[in-house]
Structures are given as C-alpha cells and as structure tokens.
Amino acid sequence: MFDSLFLFFAVAVFIAVVLGIEGLFMWWNTTRGPEARRMARRLRAASAGGHGTEQLSILKQRMLSRSDTMQRLLLALPHVQTVDRIIVQSGLSVTLGDVILLTLLFGSAGVFVPMYLGRGLLFGILLGCILAALPTLYIFRARTKRMQRLENQLPDAIDLMGRAMRAGHAFPNALKMVGEEMSDPIGSEFRTLFDEINYGVRLEDALLNLLERVPSTDLQYFVVALLIQRETGGNLAELLDNISAIVRARIKLMGEIRTLSAEGRLSAWILSLLPFATALMINIVNPGFMTVLWNDPAGLKLIYFALFMMAFGIWWMSRIIKIRV
C-alpha cells in the first residue's frame, strides 16, 4: 500500500513538473518569444503614425506603458504621443513608462547617494540631473544611429523598387519586396508601410505615417516625389532612379563633410575629457591635493562654473561642426 501511494505521488509530481515547465514555456513564448516581440514592434511602429484610422490611434494609446495606472497618467500629459514617437524612432523595445521609471531611479540615486556620503545637496542635485538625463540621451543616440543606418539603406531600397517596377510589379508589391529582402531598420519600416496599405489605409496616409516614423530628409524627398507623381503622372521607375541618384550624391557629400569636420570633433572630445583626465591623474599621484576644491565653498563654485562653461563650449563646438546638406 505504501509503495502504491509513493508511486502515485511520484507520478503526480512528475506530471505537475512537466505541466509547469510547459506552462512557463508557453507563457514565455506568448509574451517574450520572437513572434511576440516581432508583433509588438510592428504594432508600436504602426502606432507611431498619425494619419491612419481610429484603430491606429487606439493602438498608439495602448503602447505607452505596461501599467494601466501609468497609462492613464501618461494620457493626461500634453504632447505625450510626440515623445512616444521619438522612442519608437529609436528602435528600442521600451515604452514611455519604462523611460520615465529609469529617469526617476537614476535621478533619485544621483541626489540621495551624494547626500548620504556628505557631499552636499547642491552636488547631489547636479549629479541627479546628469544621471536622470542618461536614459533620454541614450534614446536620442539610438535614434540618431538608426536614422543614419536607414538613410544609408534608402538608395538600395529605391533601386530595388525601380527594378521591381521595370519587371512589371505593382507599386505595393515593390514595397513588399523591399520589406522582405532588405534588412532592418528599413525593412521593418517598409513592411509596416505595406501592411498599412494592405489593411486599407490610403497610400498618401501610409506614406505620411512613414515620414512621421522616420524623420529623414532623404525619405522626405522620396515621399514628396511619389505624392507628386501620383497627381501628375509620369514614369515612376525613372523617377525612382533619379531620386536614388540624388540621395547617393547627398550621402557622399555628407561623408566628405564628416571627414573634413573630424578634426573639430576630435578637438571637442579632447578638450571635454582633458580636465577630468587631469583631475584623475592628480588624485592618483597626490590624493589629498585637490580635496580643498570640493571641501571649500569657493572651490565648489569654481567647479560649477567650470562645468557650465564646458557644457556651453561643447554646445558651441557642436553647432560649428554641424553642417546641414
């Protein structure tokens, strides 16, 4: 009798473990798996546009946060969809609620840790502001890199569309070919564009949605030329070849400008990092030499003034080496 109960208990435990593992796998595959992540990216990309149907607006509101309470608070803020669109443009799998939470955590740590160590409230506020800005700076950095990759891919995508048009394919099919054969980020954007057209959104609205998701000057030339061609007519394949040639020439010119301005960017990096490197070396050689700088009130004022002037100098040099083509 005891052996039978033990065997029944062992079989029941085994079945429970197997079912538990299967349930965890199904939950993970449904919420965090590759298909779920792909669907979430496409829904977030579709939600970034503002020229579609009411369904797109509903999708856009759902993706602001994973928490219902945070969702209601964010919807009450003005221009919240513009901020969420910047996050979508960065290509990162985070929501606006995640960014706000990280900003609050970093800012709180920057304020309270120096106060706990006795560095003073003003130093804590300054450090908290710097740390709180890190998530936003990271998103803008990711957005810039993604836009650069997309602009570099755009001429090849336009050439592919032109060849598809010459082969007899319709324009929506040419968009589908770009979405299937090109890598991300331009592949995912054109897949979203094709899905919107396939689901009934007008071509003009879908192209304007693409412009809102991708704020690129080169893509703006492409969309404006397509909209004009639809109104006036003409050889679309030849038009695509001309746009591709213009975009390639512009990218080449921007590359030459970046090469010529590389010395200015290197000077900006050296001048920005030199004070911190010098202070680090002095502290290594003579640890007590610079303690008067942050223990004396006059030294703290000098530090704050130097940081302000460095920030102003970085901004000014970035304006000098930034040339619009």
- Tell me which residue range forms the domain holding 276: 261-325
What is the tens place of the pLDDT at every residue in 47-106?
Answer: 444 444 444 443 444 456 566 666 667 666 777 777 788 888 888 878 777 888 888 888
Mean residue pLDDT of the chain comes to: 78
Rounded-to-integer distance, Cα 44 and Cα 182, Å: 20
The structure tokens 């006059």 sit at 298
175 and 223: one domain?
Answer: yes
| pLDDT score of 45 | 52
| Predicted model pTM | 0.64
Q: Which two tokens stand for residue 225?
A: 């030329």
| pLDDT score of 33 | 63
- Average pLDDT over every residue of 153-174: 88
| pLDDT score of 48 | 46
240 and 315: one domain?
Answer: no
Q: Where is the domain boundary, 219, 239, 257?
A: 257
Rounded-to-integer distance, Cα 264 and Cα 246, Å: 28
156 and 218: one domain?
Answer: yes
DSSP single-letter state for residue 91: T
Alpha-carbon distances of 55 from 13, 211, 213, rounded to whole Å: 47, 19, 17
177 and 222: one domain?
Answer: yes
Alpha-carbon distances of 182 from 115, 142, 166, 185, 230, rounded to whole Å: 52, 20, 19, 9, 25
What is the tens place of the pLDDT at every residue in 99-131?
Answer: 888 888 888 888 888 777 777 777 788 888 888
Domain assignment of residue 121, yes or no: no
Range of weakest confidence among 60-74, 158-172, 189-203, 242-256: 60-74
200 and 219: one domain?
Answer: yes
| pLDDT score of 129 | 86
If DSSP codes are grouped into helix, strand and coil, which group holds residue 95? coil
Domain assignment of residue 107, yes or no: no
